[in-house]
Structure 1
């Protein structure tokens, strides 16, 4: 990969992390506002709960699509760690292609559902559900691209590094 392309990728990754941090900060501030209004002012408000749920949904799907690296994902690695590199590549290839097929099969129905939901709005802030759920369509396309990339790497003998039990951690 060329250095300018690699630098652009790093810059985009950093901005995705920034956006994810902003979503977390928004969710935290709104949560504090909700506590203050409910317990100190005795004025329960619903829009804070709505924003918290929207931020949580977007954080999980956006973060998984654009921020969480493949090596940071939680997985069952008992079998993966017990086999050799060639079998590991075959496992990555099989699972990646399976996920590509499943996401690709579901994508037309997902897009159709997202477009259908434009008729509904959230209770307090009146956010259209198609805007709210659009992140799942973005997530599905990003997962297809990511899994195709992983399959390509596995097919060409890359990406399935030797499993090192000393490197297994919680991701920290």
Structure 2
């Protein structure tokens, strides 16, 4: 079931990327072929980009694909790596949970505003941020549960740096 939902999330991300591409091409054609610059293409691209980034970070990216600063966790053993993971997961959960009421308030307040060209309510446009926050909290709760059960995170692989000039 989760694999199917992940696949749907990937398809939606791909669709958003296609929307950005089509809007970009439409902007070029309208401006340089017909000499008729339009603003809705830029607005559509920005909206799709916002949704793509937050949707992708919330539902498409797997834990092992995230960019992490792992200099400290790479230098310590299994126990300390587990403790660092617990502190990190708790920190993310607490901070995002603390921000959720204010985020909800702001997003729902934005129902009074509409986008310039497409006339879409801003609360609808920014609602993806609330989904993102809830997804981040849920992912870190899952990570915390694994860590509390005793599953230590794997030692991060060394990244390959380009050779110095």
Task: Please give the TM-score of this superposition, normalised by the length of structure 2.
Answer: 0.93
* SS of match in other structure, 2:115: coil
- Counterpart selection for 1:103 from 73, 96, 99: 96
Aligned-partner Cα distance in 2 for 1:17–1:81: 30
- Counterpart selection for 2:143 from 141, 147, 150: 150
1:139 matched residue in structure 2: 132
Task: Please give the TM-score of this superposition, normalised by the length of structure 1.
Answer: 0.90
Gaps of 5+ in 1: 1-7
Aligned-partner Cα distance in 1 for 2:160–2:146: 23
Aligned-partner Cα distance in 2 for 1:169–1:56: 29
Compute the displacement of 1:147 (Å). 0.7
Seen in structure 2, the aligned counterparts of structure 1 residues 159 and 42 have a Cα distance that, compared at 3 Å, is farther
Aligned-partner Cα distance in 1 for 2:146–2:65: 17
- Counterpart selection for 2:42 from 49, 71, 74: 49
Aligned-partner Cα distance in 1 for 2:62–2:88: 16
Moved more, 78-87 or 126-135: 78-87
* SS of match in other structure, 1:161: coil
Aligned-partner Cα distance in 1 for 2:148–2:160: 27
Aligned-partner Cα distance in 2 for 1:59–1:162: 30
Gaps of 5+ in 2: none
CA contact (8 A) 2:16 2:52 kept: yes
Is 2:58 the partner of 1:75? Answer: no
Superposed structure 1 runs of 4+ greater than 4 Å apart: none
